Each structure stands twice: as structure tokens, then as C-alpha cells.
Amino acid sequence: MYQRISKISISGLLIGFRPILGSNPDANKAGALKNRFCVLLIAIAFTIGLPGTSWAQVPETAESHDAFIKGLREVEAKDAVTASLPRTLSPIVSRFKGWFIDITERAKLEKLGDVEAVEGISLASEKRESSFWIFTETESGYLIQAAAGKYKGWFIARDDSAKPRPEGSNLTVAPALRLTNRQTGNSHWDLTMTEKGLVLTAKSGKFKGWYWDFGGNDPSHEESGRQVAVNVLLAEKIVAGSYFEVTAEK
């Protein structure tokens, strides 16, 4: 589902609707043509778009959404509403279907403002303890934390300094996902369960309104007996790679 978010002044276009009537027939014809032109201009703005306009997508919520959210409220969490037990996240399409959101062993420690961070959120062909995540509900949105492994307790966040790049002819993406050792203003996510799977949306910062995605044609490499692709990123709109399956730990 799309919503038109316009940065132009529609009220300015509506000026053209004022009737221009008088005793001069030529003036009346000119006024009528002006009104028709303005109608056409507004129609274009709400269909193919004008410079200064943009699309904002809203994921269509499935009937199962409320039950999914309720299912995440499994334990009481400190300084939060509730938290889930560990879960995995897996793409639903492409050759990475069934792989797991994870962190590469090649991740390097860096600084993101005044917090420690690592870049390297990945997809892994086999799940390990680092493939499990906890969803913590707060008033500002959901926090997603590593449930185990080297980075246990770290948060999936966004780096506003990441540079967007084109992906094909009609999509812009950004390698902006990071793991941080503590919560930041860019750690919150919106969760929407759709008929196709879970959509995760950034709640704040430069990439507010962008969605989890991954490079479907990106290469993978071997790490400790499994294949890993460092290709998880954010996309400006919902695409096939924006849908994930969420599975509770067994």
C-alpha cells in the first residue's frame, strides 16, 4: 500500500480553479483552459508524481498481526513493557530463503558516536546461537537484541552516516544496520505482520520509514562450516526482500 506524501503546495495549485468570468468570451475560454490545466496538473501529482513529491509505503497489516504481537509478550523486561523469548528471522524469498539473520565472524569493532558498534549483520545458511534475537517492546518501538553469542545483549541499530546507493533502476538502499553495545536513539523498530511475513521499519533518524532488506544476488563465503553473506541492509521502500519469517527457539 502506498500513501502520497507531497512536498508541494496543493493549495497553490487550487488557485487555478477560481472561475475567470466576464464579458470577454476570449477571457472566459482562457480561464476554462487554465482550470483544465490545473486539474491535469493535480492528477499528475497524485499519480506519476511531480518534482518534490515522494512515495511512502505503509505495510498492510494481516489479521494475524495482533496475535503475533501478543505472542511476543512472554516475559517482563526491565525498563520496558515486555520481551520475547529468543527467535530467529529468515528471508522468505530468493536463494537466501530459510537463511538466518546473524553476525559475521569478520565483524570489526568501531565507534558509532559514543557507543561501540560492529558492522556485519548478515545472513547465515545454518543457525547457531548467534542467530537468535529477543524482541523487547518499549513505548518508543521494539528493540532487537542478540540473545546469545559473542554480542549477547547488543542491539540492532542504524548508522545515520551510512551512504545510500542505487540498487537497480528503481530502488535505493543503505548498508546502515549495526550492532551496538547499548541502546541508542536509532535502536527502535516498528513490527508489522503482513500476509507475506514480518516487515521491520526504522522508527527514527535519517532512515526513518526505511525497511529491512538484503542483497539477493550478493555473494557468500564460508565461516565455520556454513555460508555467510554480509548483505543485510535498509531499503527506501518495501520489496520482496522486506518480508521475514519469525520462528521461536525450539
Phi/psi zone of residue 120: left (φ > 0), alpha (ψ -120 to 50 degrees), beta? left
- Phi and psi at 179, nearest 5°, equal -105, 130
Mean pLDDT of 48-61: 57
What tens digit of pLDDT does each residue of 77-102 get?
A: 877 789 999 999 999 999 999 999 99
238 or 24, which is more confident = 238
The residue among 18, 36, 55 that closes a domain is 55
> Looking at residue 97, what is its pLDDT?
97
Give the residue among 124, 126, 129, 88 at the shortest CA–CA distance from 244.
88
List helix spans (H) across 46-95.
65-72
> Looking at residue 43, what is its pLDDT?
46
> Looking at residue 57, what is its pLDDT?
73
Q: Based on the domain organization, do 107 and 182 belong to the same domain?
A: yes
The residue among 18, 40, 55 that closes a domain is 55
Mean pLDDT of 26-50: 51
The CA-based angle 174-91-198, given to 5 degrees, is 85
Q: Based on the domain organization, do 40 and 152 belong to the same domain?
A: no
Q: Based on the domain organization, do 77 and 12 belong to the same domain?
A: no
Q: Based on the domain organization, do 71 and 195 belong to the same domain?
A: yes
> Looking at residue 65, what is its pLDDT?
98
Q: Based on the domain organization, do 158 and 220 belong to the same domain?
A: yes
Q: Domain containing 13: what range? A: 2-55
From the number of C-beta atoms within 10 Å of its C-beta (0-12, 13-18, 19+), residue 233 rates as buried
Which of these ranges, 48-52, 64-68, 204-208, has the smallest mean pLDDT? 48-52
Q: Based on the domain organization, do 221 and 102 belong to the same domain?
A: yes
Cell 547465515, residue located: 124
List Cα–Cα distances, 181 to 187, 220, 230, in angstroms. Answer: 11, 26, 20
Q: Based on the domain organization, do 13 and 99 belong to the same domain?
A: no
Mean pLDDT of 54-79: 86
Cell 555460508, residue located: 227
Q: Based on the domain organization, do 118 and 183 belong to the same domain?
A: yes
- Provide the domain count of the chain: 2
> Looking at residue 25, what is its pLDDT?
58
CATH of the domain at 70: 2.80.10.50
Question: E strands, 34-181, where?
Answer: 53-57, 75-76, 82-83, 87-91, 100-112, 115-124, 133-138, 141-146, 155-158, 165-166, 172-174, 177-180
3-state secondary structure (DSSP) of residue 196 = coil
Round to whole Å and give the CA distance between 3 and 169: 21
What residues contact residue 217 under an 8 Å CB cut-off, 6+ apart?
A: none
Q: Based on the domain organization, do 42 and 145 belong to the same domain?
A: no
CB atoms under 10 Å from CB of 158, counted, come to: 27
Q: Based on the domain organization, do 17 and 110 belong to the same domain?
A: no
Q: Based on the domain organization, do 97 and 24 belong to the same domain?
A: no
pTM: 0.78
Q: Answer whether residue 2 shows pLDDT above 60.
A: no
What tens digit of pLDDT does each residue of 97-108 get?
A: 999 999 999 999
Buried-exposed string 160-171: b where 16+ CB fall within 10 A, e elsewhere: bebebeebeeee
What tens digit of pLDDT does each residue of 200-246 get?
A: 999 999 999 999 999 998 999 999 999 999 999 999 999 999 999 99
> Looking at residue 24, what is its pLDDT?
60
> Looking at residue 64, what is its pLDDT?
97
User: Residue 240 corresponds to which cell in the numbers above?
Assistant: 520482496
Round to whole Å and give the CA distance between 170 and 121: 24
Q: Which residues pair with 90 in a beta bridge?
A: 245
Q: Based on the domain organization, do 148 and 34 belong to the same domain?
A: no
Round to whole Å and give the CA distance between 145 and 140: 15
User: Residue 131 corresponds to which cell in the numbers above?
Assistant: 542467530
Mean pLDDT of 131-142: 97
